[in-house]
Amino acid sequence: MDTISRRDLLAGAAGLALTSAIGGTASGQAARTPKRGGTLVGSWGGFEPQALFVPPGGGSSPNMTSTKVLERLIRLDEDLQFRPVLALSVTPAADFRSYTIKLRPNVKWHDGADFTADDVVFNAMDYWKPISSGGALNALVSAEAVDKETVVLKFNATVPDFFLKSILAGRTVTIPKHIYAGKEMMTNPANNLPIGTGPFKVREWVRGSHVEYVRNENYWDPQLPYVDKLVIRWWRDPASRSAAFEAGQLDFAVFNPIPAPDVKRLVDTRRFTAVTEGYKNTAWALTTYFNTQREIFKRADVRRALLHAVDREFISDTIYFGRAKPATGHIPSSNSLFYFKDLPTYSFDPDKAGKLLDAAGYPIRNGSRFTMNIVSAGWFEENVKAGQYLRQAFEDIGIKVDLAIPDRATSLKRIYTDYEFDMAISNNSGPLELAPQWTQSYTTSGIVKGAAFRNASRYSNPALDKLVDQYLVETDPKKRQALAREFQLILATEAPVTSLVEIVSATVARSDVRVAANYADVLGESWAHIWLDR
Amino acid sequence: MLRILFRRLVQIIPLILGVIIMNFGLIQLAPGSFLDVMTAEQQISDPAMIERMRILYGMDQPAAVQLLKYIWSVVTLDFGYSYRQNAPVLTVIMQHLPATALLMLAAIAVALLVGVVAGVVAAVKVNTIWDNLISLIAVFFFAAPTFWLGIMLTILFSVKLGWLPVGGMRTVGTEFGAIAATFDIARHLLLPAVSLGLFYAATYARVMRASMLEVYKSDFVRTARSKGLPGFQVVVIHVLRNALLPVVTLLGLQLGTVLGGSVVIETVFSWPGIGSLMLDSVMSRNYPVVLGVLVMSSVVVAVANAAVDIAYFKLDPRISAR
């Protein structure tokens, strides 16, 4: 099979970003005036969502379909600047216990109703806090509409500026009060045909095929969106997406839409581009959890020894075809705020792993040191291969391995409900802000039986918890970074949960598709800034 | 004949009940529940929220109560509600059913046409180069994985030649009149129906050939020939008609799969059918949709079998005499 190395992909991608405008810097595009009109056909490396909008989030697919219609207050760009969307400004009080939100005036919902401060109050108290923010807004006490365009959020603790803005630019889209208030949110018919303030209105959703959006003629920014029509179409098979690109039936697809070997082939034709920008705020990793409640794996020296037996370069280059790179900590290196290079790492050294295990009291007796069971969550093809690779790697140092690669539902149950594993392979993902999405995979409060993507190791360390708690209320950005470094240092030393490799996500597009913005999360932004240079 | 038909239709009731109870049991036995999948996908970790969803989904009740409720909902022809799609199960199924039925009927039509013609030619030209060639092609299409065949046909006809669209059922984002829309769907249907149809055609061809050769040896064929009837007439009227029985049996079996769809072909061609819905529903343990599809499939199987029985009577009057 034709393989490309990670360096080729990244180098190719970087080079192309300069020549073509996809996801490139805003300055590179300033010279060109965006053209209006046309139909953009988009897709992504996954399947159709269960509903176009799923109130608690629902994962990448509904996130992609809903954010074209439902807007957030602000958005985050790759240069770490928050840009106004529905809010013109979000300003902390001097004590960081309340925030004043100034809303954009004269915004209308797609059904013609006015968007006002009442909508934001409803969202904050009845939707963001209890449902969509995943517990991040637990300190929120009240939301008050001061006037039609001003809302004050009050908290019972200090709330860091970046933290709050990151939440407001993240999983908290704004939904219309007049459609959702007083009804069961999960089964509201509007979830299948959302009504928002965004640049696109839903025209038709043909289940199993595509959703068609049309330009919102009354959008608050009369310049946007650039395209007249947006179609999000789903192909269940990556090879079919390549074929669709080549046949001219697909323009723009995010989150690794096509098989890795096809990326190079398509880019070489010069009719397509592939870039890796646009994923800073949704980084993914291949994550392993050790079960710290089990006899052998409750010992940090054993966990560290095992990590020395894993060749992360091999996983990146062979299992991910170069679409991943070895991780050097729990947080991906794309996180320019909270990634630290100088944390302890575990080089690939099977001899050292063996010696460490000898020293830990697990020498090879009757042909093996001990037996461990690995559960690899079978939702990604790469997890299947990574499980098989880890079995080999551990057998090489004299450990017997029972490997199970169950389907989605069984994996969730075994890893996050029954904790039935010695080592689990899963995937963590999260935004730039560490709390709560990244931190809950190792804090004591993150141990929630039955809640997926939380602390499956059941690792509990009061010293680390204390640092995370301080980090949550610290408002000085420099001190927050210092705290983050401190608890990541403990995490890297204790190694209950580890990112083995960082997944590099790529966007593939026709070379005449331009993006006049540098989204930090290209999948979850409105795509109003995308235009067709035809 | 009417009595047999009636008996067949009455048999559907225990069949459906069995289908429901067995599959409900299987889904309950499978590790992981619908609630696990939904809370994981929605990234819910708040125990209070999980409890709220458990009650919303009716999963706070014992399995037996859930089963009885489901059976009652089938009796009242309301197939329940799918929280995953946020719509009634019947609506969800009906959104996918026409596409699947169209694809499967087209595929079976292709299979029948190609398979029967190939089988007849092979039997007439038995042990010639034609016979061998047809056998070889049949084995090829039977052995070639349908997903591979689908991708190869797509690359040739859609990417290289640009004649046909890549997947989907309709051209997205354009408005058509009724005639143009039919033509558009036909263009999208061609490749998936052919890829799937050729796979089935291989079986038909082999069965048809064997059956034709069997009938050729009969006395009445020799008699017909010795009467001096033209070869074509002997083949079509005397041999073909009598050789059709096994093919009709096979057809009846395959009609039963019409509702099941083909997950593989639907995946390769992004055909908005029921196969992918079933796959997703099984993976997410969404039993109302799984059971809904299976109940409807069992009705179709029963009806198709009744239809095949009637076809037997027409093809071979000896059967009804017995």
pLDDT at A13: 38
Partners of B290 on chain A (C-beta within 8 Å) are none
Residue in B closest to A406 by C-alpha? B31
Interface contact flag, B49 A56, Cβ < 8 Å: yes
A209 and B170: CB-CB below 8 Å? yes
Contacts of A59 in chain B (CB under 8 A): 41-43
pLDDT of residue B280: 82
Is B151 an interface residue toward A (CB < 8 Å)?
yes
Domain boundary among A180, A212, A234: A180
- Asked, for residue A445, whether it belongs to a domain, the answer is yes
CB contact (8 A) between residue B43 and residue A414: no
Contact A208 B87 (CB under 8 A): no
Q: How far is CA A495 from CA A101, A149, A332, in A?
A: 41, 48, 15
- Distance, in Å, from the CA atom of B151 to the CA atom of A243, rounded to the nearest integer, reads 9
Within A135-233, where are the H helices? 161-168, 177-180
- Whether A340 and A422 share a structural domain: yes
Higher-scoring residue by pLDDT: B269, A349: A349
CATH number of the domain enclosing A15: 3.40.190.10
Whether the Cβ atoms of residue A529 and residue A515 lie closer than 8 Å to each other: yes
Calculate Rg over the CA atoms of chain A: 24
The rounded distance, in Å, linking the Cα atoms of A498 and A294 is 17
Q: Which of A474, A493, A494 is nearest to A484 (CA)?
A: A474
| Model pLDDT, residue A165 | 94
Same domain, A481 and A359: yes
Where is A400: in which H helix or E strand? strand A400-404
Provide the 8-state DSSP code for A72: -
Q: Would A142 be classed as within a structural domain? A: yes
Please tell me whether residues A151 and A292 are part of one structural domain. no
Asked if the structure places residue A190 within a domain, the reply is no
**A219-237 burial: b if 16+ Cβ within 10 Å, else e:** bbeeebbbbebbbbbbbbb
Q: By mean pLDDT, which of A199-203, A249-253, A337-341, B160-164 is the weakest?
A: B160-164
Residue A420 lies in a domain: yes
| Distance from C-alpha of A498 to C-alpha of A59, rounded to nearest angstrom | 22
Reply yes or no: is the peptide bond before residue A194 cis, omega within 30 of 0: no
Please state the φ and ψ torsions of residue A500, each to the nearest 5 degrees. -80, -50
Helices (H) and strands (E) in chain A, counts: 15, 21
Q: How many CA atoms does the CB half-sphere of B165 hold within 13 Å?
A: 19
User: Is A299 inside a domain boundary?
Assistant: yes
3-class secondary-structure state, position A435:
coil
- Domain assignment present for residue A226? The answer is yes
Residues A144, A54, single domain; the answer is no
Q: Residue A198 pLDDT more than 80?
A: yes
DSSP code, position A441: G
Instruction: For residue B42, give every residue at least 6 positions away whose Cβ sits within 8 Å of its Cβ, in sequence order, or none.
Output: A54, A56, A57, A58, A59
Residues A335 and A370 in one domain: yes
- What angle, rounded to 10 degrees, do the helices at A238-246 and A260-268 form? 10
Whether residue A233 and residue B276 make contact (CB cut-off 8 A), yes or no, is no
Report the pLDDT value the prediction gives residue A27, as an integer from 0 to 100. 40
pTM summary value: 0.83
How far does the CA of residue B259 sit from the closest CA of chain A (Å)?
16
Which range among A51-55, A268-272, B46-50, B148-152 shows the weakest confidence by mean pLDDT? Answer: B46-50
Q: Specify the higher pLDDT residue, A372 or B8.
A: A372
Q: What is the average pLDDT across A17-36? A: 51
**Cα–Cα distances in angstroms (integers) from residue A223 to residues A41, A157, A219, B119, in the given order:** 20, 40, 9, 64
Q: What does the pLDDT read at residue B258?
A: 63
How far A59 CA sits from the closest chain B CA (Å)?
5
Give dist(CA B250, CA A429) in Å, integer. 50
Partner A contacted by B45 (CB < 8 A): yes
Query: Could you say which of B43, B167, B276 has the minimum Cβ distance to residue A57?
Result: B43
Q: What is the pLDDT of residues B103-136, one digit of tens each?
A: 888 988 998 999 999 988 888 888 889 889 988 9
Same domain, A78 and A159: yes
CA distance A215 to A488: 45
- Are B166 and A249 in contact by the 8 Å Cβ rule? The answer is yes
Of the candidate ranges A51-65, A407-421, B35-49, B191-205, the one whose mean pLDDT is the lowest: B35-49
Residues A251, A313 within the same domain: no
The domain total for chain A is 3
What's the pLDDT at A18? 31
Q: What is the mean pLDDT of residues A333-352?
A: 92
Query: Exposure of B271 by Cβ count < 10 A (0-12 exposed, 13-18 middle, 19+ buried)?
Result: buried
Q: What's the pLDDT band for A26 if we cut at 50, 70, 90?
A: very low
- Does pLDDT of A29 surpass 80? no
Q: Give phi and psi for A182, each to the nearest 5.
A: 75, 10
Q: In Å, how far from its chain's centre is CA A357?
A: 35
Q: Does A3 have pLDDT greater than 70?
A: no
The pLDDT value given to residue A56: 83
Do A212 and B173 count as a contact with CB atoms less than 8 A apart? yes
The CATH number assigned to the domain holding A315 equals 3.10.105.10
Q: For strand A150-155 and strand A98-103, is the pairing parallel, antiparallel, or unpaired? A: antiparallel
Q: What is the dihedral of CA A310, A313, A317, A320, to 10 degrees?
A: 50
Answer yes or no: is pLDDT of A23 > 70. no
A30 and A87 share a domain?
Answer: no
Report ipTM for this prediction. 0.77
Query: How do residues A499-528 score in pLDDT, each as one tens digit?
Result: 999 999 999 999 999 999 889 999 999 999
List Cβ neighbours of B279 (8 Å cut-off, separation of 6 or more).
Answer: B263
The count of other CB atoms within 10 Å of the CB of residue A356 is: 20
* Confidence at residue B271, expressed as pLDDT on a 0 to 100 scale: 86
Residue appearing with tokens 């993507």: A453
Three-state secondary structure readout of A296-338: CCCCHHHHHHHHCCCCHHHHHHHHCCCCEEECCCCCCCCCCCC
CA distance linking residue A176 with residue A112, whole number of Å: 11
The whole-number pLDDT of residue B296 equals 83
User: Looking at residue A10, what is its pLDDT?
Assistant: 39
CB A467 within 8 A of CB A486: yes
Any A CB within 8 A of B28 CB: no
Establish, for the pair of chains A and B, how many residue pairs have beta carbons separated by less than 8 Å: 175
Q: How does residue A2 score in pLDDT terms, banded at 50, 70 and 90? A: very low
SS (H, E, C) chain B: CHHHHHHHHHHHHHHHHHHHHHHHHHHHHCCCCHHHHHHHHCCCCCHHHHHHHHHHCCCCCCHHHHHHHHHHHHHCCCCCEECCCCEEHHHHHHHHHHHHHHHHHHHHHHHHHHHHHHHHHHHHCCCCHHHHHHHHHHHHHHHCCHHHHHHHHHHHHHHHCCCCCCCCCCCCCCCCCHHHHHHHHHHHHHHHHHHHHHHHHHHHHHHHHHHHHHHHCCHHHHHHHHCCCCHHHHHHHHHHHHHHHHHHHHHHHHHCCCCCCCHHHHHHCCCCCHHHHHHHHHHCCCHHHHHHHHHHHHHHHHHHHHHHHHHHHHHCCHHHHC
Cross-chain residue pair A413–B31, CB shorter than 8 Å? yes
Judged by CB atoms closer than 8 Å, whether chains meet at B276 and A440 is answered as no
- CB B5, CB B306: distance < 8 Å: yes
Does residue A392 sit in the same domain as residue A376? yes
Q: What tokens were used for B43? A: 């990234």
The yes-or-no verdict on residue A15 having pLDDT over 60 is no
User: What is the predicted pLDDT for the residue at B261?
Assistant: 60
B170 has a chain A CB within 8 A of its CB: yes
**Lateral strand order in the sheet of A423-430:** A324-326, A497-503, A283-290, A423-430, A371-376, A400-404
Lowest mean pLDDT among A72-76, A383-387, B255-259, B291-295: B255-259
pLDDT of residue A104: 94
What confidence tier does A187 reach under pLDDT thresholds 50, 70, 90? confident
Which residues make Cβ contacts (< 8 Å) with residue B6, sequence separation at least 6?
Answer: none
| Lowest-confidence pick of A122-131, A293-302, B278-287 | B278-287
A267, A295: one domain: no
Is the per-residue pLDDT at A358 higher than 80?
yes
pLDDT value at residue A355: 94
In this prediction, the residues of chain B whose per-residue pLDDT falls under 70 are 1, 43, 45, 173-174, 257-261, 320-322
Torsion of CA B30, B35, B36, B37, to 10 degrees: 90
Please indicate whether, in this complex, the C-beta atoms of A412 and B37 are within 8 angstroms of each other: yes
Kind and range of the H or E element at A145?
strand A140-147
Q: Are A402 and A374 in contact (CB under 8 A)?
A: yes
**pLDDT at B170 (0 to 100):** 80
pLDDT at B46: 73
Q: Which is more confidently placed, A119 or B217?
A: A119
Residues A203 and A170 in one domain: no
Q: Is A113 inside any structural domain?
A: yes
Q: Is residue A189 part of a domain?
A: no
Residue A249 sits in the same domain as residue A346: no
Mean pLDDT of chain A: 89
pLDDT score of A195 more than 50: yes
Which domains, ranges and CATH numbers included, belong to chain B? 16-89 (no CATH), 99-315 (1.10.3720.10)
Q: Give bridge partners of residue A91 from the DSSP assignment.
A: A100
Domain that holds residue A158: 74-180
